[in-house]
Structure 1
Amino acid sequence: MKILVVGTGFVGLTHAAVCSEFGHQVYAYDIDQVRIEAYQSGDRHRIESYVNEPELADVIAENLDRHLFFVSDAAQIREVIEGTQVIFLCLPTPPLRSGATDLSYYLKAVHQLGELLTQRRDQRRVVLVNKSTVPVGTARKLQKVLTEHGVPNFGVASNPEFLPEGNAVERSRKPDRVVVGADTNEDFNVLRHVYPQFVNHVRIRYIETTPETAEAIKYVANTLLLTYISFWNGVGARLAETFDNIDMAQLKLGVTADERISTWGSYVSNGAGGSCFGKDIQSLTYQLSRRGKSTDLLRSVYQINEYQKSYLIERAVHEALFNFNHKTVTLLGLAFKKHTNDIRDSSALKVVDSLLALGVKAIRAYDPLATEEAQRYFDPARNHLFEKISYHDSAHAALEGSDALFISTDWEEFRGISNEIEQTSRPPYLIIDGRRMISDFAELVARGYTYLAVGAPVLRPDAPVAEPAEDDEE
C-alpha cells in the first residue's frame, strides 16, 4: 500500500520505518527540514540525534529510497497524496497547564491536509488515521474538518500506538495487540491491508471497535500502568521504608504470587517519566472533570508519581540528615529509562531542580545517551543556575570530587558502580539509589558509606545492615 505518515517523532518515525519493512511504500513527512535531511542521510548518528531507538537506524538505512521516503517540501506532498490510501497522523499533542491536550499542531496539520485532499486527482478512498494519543472524540473533529473542506471519499480511524521506548521496533514487529477504531467495514478493510500479518494471528489480538473506544483504550491502558507504579511506590515502598524487617523483594514476591495480581510495575523507583504516562493521565482527568465526573483516583495516582521524583531528596535531608548546601552531587542517569535518549518528564529533571533549590555547589551528570538532550533542556540562558551542571563521558569521571551520588536511571552499567564509588570517594559519602541498582550495598555501608534506597530504611555505617537487594526490574 502507499502510506503517508505525517510527523516523524518517536511514534511517526518508528511506525514509518517498520511499515516500510513490511513492504509498504511509505512516505514520512515533517515540516522540520533539518530533521528530514538527517533521516534521509541514512547516517546512524544523525538519525539517533533525533530518535535513539535500538535497531531503528538500521531499519531506516535498509529501506531508504526503496520502500521508505522522507519528505519536507509541501509541494512534494501534493504529489505524494496522489494514490495514497492511508494517512497516519503522528503529531505532537502536548499537555496544557490545565491538563487539557493541546491539539493546535494536530488541527493545523488536518486543515492543511484537508486543502490538499480536496485537490486530489485520484478519487479513490483515503483513510486518515489518528496514531497520536488524542482525547476521546478527536476522530469526530477530524471528520468534521475534512467534511468542511469538502474532501471526497474519505474515512477516519483511530489506531493508537502502544510502543515502549527502548523496545519500540521489536514491539512494532510483534505487538501484543493492534487496536483499530472505525465506522465502516470499508475503512476496517483498508487497515487490514496495512496489518495483514496481524489479522487472525494466534497470539496478537487484533481488535476492531469504534473510534471512541480505541481512543479510550489508550488512555485507560496508560493510566492503569501508572496506577500500578504509583501503588507500589506509595504503599509497598512506604511500608518497607517505615517498618523494621520488611524485605521489599519478598514483599513483592509474596503479593504477586497471586495470579490475579500483575508483576508489571511491582518494582519501586524514584518515579515514572516519559512522554506518555503523566500527559495521558492529566488529559483523562481533564476530560472526565469537564463532564462533572469524579477524578480523585486519577489525581492521586498522578500526585504520588510526581512526589516520588523528589521524595528521595527529602528523605536524604530528613532521615539521612544530609546537608546539600555547597555540596557536589553526582547524578547518574538523565533519560527517563534505559535504552533511550528521551528526557521528557524524566525523574532526573526534578532531581536537578530539587538539588539546585537546596543550594548545591555543583551537579556532575552522566548518561550513556541523553547528554545532548539534557544540555539543551538545562540551558544556562534559561536559568543561570544550570551553569552548575557539568556533563561527563563516564560514571567514573562524574563521581570524581563529589560528596553524594544519586542514581536516577536504570542503566545496566550502574549495577556495578560500587568499585567506582570507592575509587573516587571516601566516607562520609551519601548514596541515593533511586532504582535499587546496587546489590552489594552492605559492603559499602560496612566501609563507612551511607546508603538510601527507595523501599528501604536509611542504612548508616553505625547501624546493622539487614535489607537485602531487590531483584532486577522488568
Structure 2
Amino acid sequence: MKIAMVGTGYVGLVTGTCFAESGNDVTCVDIDQKKVDMLLGGEVPIYEPGLTELVKRNAQAGRLHFTTQLSEAVADSQCAFIAVGTPQGDDGSANMGAFWKVVDSLAPILPDDCIVVVKSTVPVGTNRAVSERLRELTGRVCDVVSNPEFLKEGCAIDDFTKPDRVVVGVERPEPAEVLKELYKPFLRTEKPFLSMGLESAEMTKYVANCMLATKISFINEMANVCDGVGADINDVRRGIGHDARIGFSFLFPGVGYGGSCFPKDVRALAAVAAAHKVESQMLDSVDKVNQAQKTVLFSKLQRYFEGDFSGRTIAIWGLAFKPRTDDIREAPALVLIDQLLAEGATVRVHDPVAMDNVKQIYGDKITYWEDQYAALEGADALAINTEWNEFRNPKFDLMSKNLTQPIIFDGRNLYDPAKMRDHGFHYEGIGLR
C-alpha cells in the first residue's frame, strides 16, 4: 500500500517506519527542511530505542522516503495520515493551527480514492469537521478516519507492532476494511481491531490517557498520605494490586507524570468538557494533584536542610520525564531545578540522554556530568527523578564517598530503605516507611 505520512514527529516517524517495515511504500513529509535532511542522511531527530536502525533499513530498502513536498508524498497514495502536533494552547485546549493548515493543503492535491487518516490527537468532533471542510474545498465526499495512537515513549516500536488493540472511527465500513488490511500484520495474535464512530474513537484516545493519568495521581496522593500516617506505599500497592479490579499497572508512586501526552490530554479533555458545559471535577483534580506532586522532592529537601540552601549543592539523577527517552516536556526534574535555583542552590545533573535538551533551557546555570558518580562529587544530597535502569543497582560505596554526606531523596523509590540504612544513607522515598 502507498502511504503518505504528514508529520515526522514522534508519532508520524514511528508509525511511518513501522508501516514501511511491514512492506508498504511510505513517504514521510515535513515542512522542516533541517529535519528532513537529517532523516535523508540516516539521522533520527528523536531518541527512541531501535528507531534509527529501522529507519535506515527501510530507507535503504526503498520503502521509506522523506520530503518537504506534500504533493510528492500524497500523489497516488491510498492513505494520507495526518500526524502533526496539537500542542496545548494558552487556555488548556489543543492548538489546532498546524493541523488545519495540513487539511487545507491536502484538499487540492488529494487523490479521489485516498483515505484521510487522522493520527493526531484532536478534540472530539474534529474528524467530522475535517470531512465537512474537505467536502467544501474539493466538492466531493472524502473518507476521513480517526485512528488514535497509543504509543509509549521508550517502547513505541513494540507498542505499534504488538498493539493491545487498534481503534478506528469511521462513517462507513469500507475505509475501515482498508485500515484493517493495513494493520493486519500487527494483529496476528488475535488482538482486536475496533471499529466505531468518529466521536467515540476521538474520545477513546483522551479517556485512555486520562484514566492512566488518574491512576498515577491517585497512587501519588496515597503515597503522600502514607508519609503522613507511617504506612508503606509499597505494601499498600501490593495489597490493592492483587485485586483483579485494580491491577498493578501505573500504580508506582513518584514525583508526577510529564511528557507530551498526559498533561496536555488531561487539560484538553477538560477544555472539551467545559466547551460543552460539562464540569470536569475529576480531570481538574488529576492535573492539580500532579502539579503538586512535582514539588514533593523539593519539600523533602527543604525540610531536611531547614529551608537553608545557601552554599548547598544538590545533584540530580534523571532529567527526562521517564526512562528510555530524551523528552523533557513537563518533566518533574525541571520543576525541582527551578525551585533549587530560586533558593540559591548549586545544581549538578546527570541523565543518559536528555542533558542536551536541558542545556538548551538552563545553559550554564547548572553543570552537566556524563558520569553519574562524578555528578555527586561535592554534592550535599542526591535527588533522583527518573527511574533509568542504570540507577537501580549503583555503586553505593562510591556514592557515599563522593557525596559530602550520604543523603538521597528518591522520587522513584528505586531502593530498599532498610538496605540503604545498612549502607549508612539517610534515605527518603515517596510514601516509604
Fold conserved between structures, TM > 0.5: yes
Query: Cα–Cα, structure 1 residues 431 and 155, in superposed 2: closer, same or farther, change >3 Å?
Result: same
Deviation at 1:294, TM superposition (A): 1.4
Structure 1 residue 83 displacement after superposition: 1.3
Counterpart among 223, 226, 232 of residue 210 in structure 2: 223
What pairs with 1:387-402 in structure 2 (closer than 5 Å)?
Answer: 387-402=364-379
Asked whether the equivalents of residues 198 and 206 of structure 1 are also in contact (C-alpha less than 8 Å), the reply is no
Query: Which aligned pairs between 1:416-455 and structure 2 lie closer than 5 A?
Result: 416-417=393-394, 418-427=396-405, 429-439=406-416, 441-442=417-418, 444-445=420-421, 449-455=425-431
Query: For 1:292 and 1:81, how far apart are their aligned partners in 2?
Result: 39
Preserved CA contact (<8 Å) 1:135 1:287: yes
SS at 2:37 equivalent: helix
Cα 1:153–1:370 shift into 2, 3 Å: same
Going from structure 1 to structure 2, the CA distance change for 1:415 and 1:447 (only over 3 Å counts) comes to closer
Question: How far 1:344 sits from its partner (Å)?
Answer: 1.2
1:308 paired with 2:293, answer yes
Residue equivalent to 2:55:
60
Q: 1:190 to 1:402 in 2, by over 3 A?
A: same
1:372 aligns with 356
Where do 1:159-174 residues align within 5 Å?
Answer: 159-174=147-162
- In the alignment, the residues of structure 1 paired with residue 100 and residue 60 of structure 2 have an alpha-carbon distance, to the nearest angstrom, of 30
State the secondary structure of the residue aligned to 1:212. helix
What is the one-letter code of the residue matched to 2:385? Answer: S
State the match for 1:96 in structure 2: 89
Are the structure 2 counterparts of residues 141 and 158 from structure 1 closer, same or farther at C-alpha, using a change threshold of 3 Å?
Answer: same
* Residue 13 of structure 2: aligned partner: 13
- The amino acid of 1:243's aligned partner reads V
User: By how many angstroms is 1:65 displaced?
Assistant: 4.4
Question: Matches of 1:320 and 1:242 in 2, distance apart?
Answer: 19
Name the residue aligned to 1:461. Answer: none
With normalisation by structure 1, the TM-score equals 0.87
Deviation at 1:170, TM superposition (A): 1.0
Offset of 1:80 from its aligned partner?
3.3
Distance 1:446 1:212, change over 3 A: same
Deviation at 1:330, TM superposition (A): 0.6
Partner of 1:84: 77
Name the amino acid aligned to 1:450: H
Q: Which amino acid is the alignment partner of residue 431 of structure 2?
A: G
With over 3 angstroms needed to count, the CA separation of the structure-2 counterparts of 1:320 and 1:254, relative to structure 1, is farther
**CA–CA distance in structure 1, aligned partners of residues 91 and 269 of structure 2:** 12
For 1:292-338, what per-residue CA distance to the aligned partner results, in whole angstroms no more than 9, with x for missing partners? 11111111111111111112211322366352233111111111111
Q: Distance in 2 between matches of 1:410 and 1:198?
A: 30
1:331-346 equivalence runs, <5 A: 331-346=316-331
C-alpha change, 1:190 and 1:203, in structure 2 (3 Å) is closer
Assess, with a 3 A threshold, how the Cα gap between structure 1 residues 202 and 444 changes in structure 2: closer, same or farther.
Answer: closer
User: One-letter code of the match for 1:60?
Assistant: V
Q: Is the 8 A contact 1:8 1:90 kept in 2?
A: yes
1:101-150 Cα offsets, whole Å, 9 max, x none, are 00001011111111322xx5xx3x11111111110011022112212211
Residue 64 of structure 1: SS of its match in structure 2? helix
Contact map agreement 2:55 2:64 (CA 8 A) in 1: no
- What is the CA–CA distance in structure 1 between the aligned matches of 2:397 and 2:102, rounded to whole Å? 53
Distance 2:89 2:391 in 1: 35
Tell me whether 204-213 or 408-417 shows the greater mean CA deviation.
Answer: 408-417
**TM-score by structure 2 length?**
0.95
Task: Find the counterpart in structure 1 of residue 308 from structure 2.
Answer: 323
Asked if 2 retains the 8 angstrom alpha-carbon contact of 1:316 and 1:452, the reply is: no
For residue 179 of structure 1, what is the aligned residue in structure 2? 167
The residue that corresponds to 1:470 in the other structure is none
User: 1:409 and 1:8 mapped to 2: Cα distance?
Assistant: 26
- Structure 2 counterpart of 1:423, which letter? K
| 1:257 counterpart letter in structure 2 | H
Alignment of 1:140-219 (within 5 A): 140-150=128-138, 152=140, 154-198=142-186, 201-219=188-206
Gaps of 5+ in 1: 381-386, 457-466, 468-474
Q: Which amino acid aligns with 1:347?
A: P
**Equivalent position of 1:261 in the other structure:** 246
Letter in 1 for 2:217: S
1:147 and 1:41 mapped to 2: Cα distance? 38
Shift of 1:443: 5.1
Q: Does residue 232 of the first structure (1) align with residue 208 of the second (2)?
A: no
Q: Answer whether contact 1:36 1:71 (CA < 8 A) is retained.
A: yes
CA-CA distance at 1:414 after TM superposition: 1.1
CA gap 1:153/1:25 in 2 versus in 1, 3 angstroms = farther
Q: 1:363 aligns with which of 342, 347, 356?
A: 347
**Match of 1:395, SS?**
coil
- CA drift of 1:420 comes to 3.1
Partner of 2:389: 412
Deviation at 1:151, TM superposition (A): 5.6
Report the AA paired with residue 30 of structure 1: D
Deviation at 1:341, TM superposition (A): 1.0
Letter paired with 1:97? D
Structure 1's 453 and 390: CA in aligned 2 closer, same or farther, altered over 3 A?
same
Q: 1:447 to 1:66 in 2, by over 3 A?
A: closer
Q: What is the rounded CA distance, in whole Å, between the counterparts of 1:229 and 1:24 in structure 2?
A: 38
Any idea what SS the aligned residue of 1:163 has? Answer: coil
In structure 2, how many angstroms separate the alpha carbons of the residues matched to 1:222 and 1:306? 16
Change (3 A) 1:79 1:268: closer
Shift of 1:377: 2.9
User: Using the alignment, how far apart are the partners of 1:95 and 1:420 within structure 2?
Assistant: 43
Distance 1:144 1:420, change over 3 A: farther
- Separation in 1 of the partners of 2:307 and 2:393? 24
Alignment-mate amino acid for residue 250 of structure 1: D
Mean alpha-carbon deviation: is it higher for 107-116 or for 207-216? 107-116
Q: Is the contact made by 1:60 and 1:68 (CA closer than 8 Å) also made in structure 2?
A: no
Between 61-70 and 363-372, report the one with greater CA deviation: 61-70
- What is the rounded CA distance, in whole Å, between the counterparts of 2:313 and 2:285 in structure 1? 34
Separation in structure 2 between the aligned mates of residue 331 and residue 260 of structure 1, nearest angstrom:
37
Residue matched to 1:4 = 4
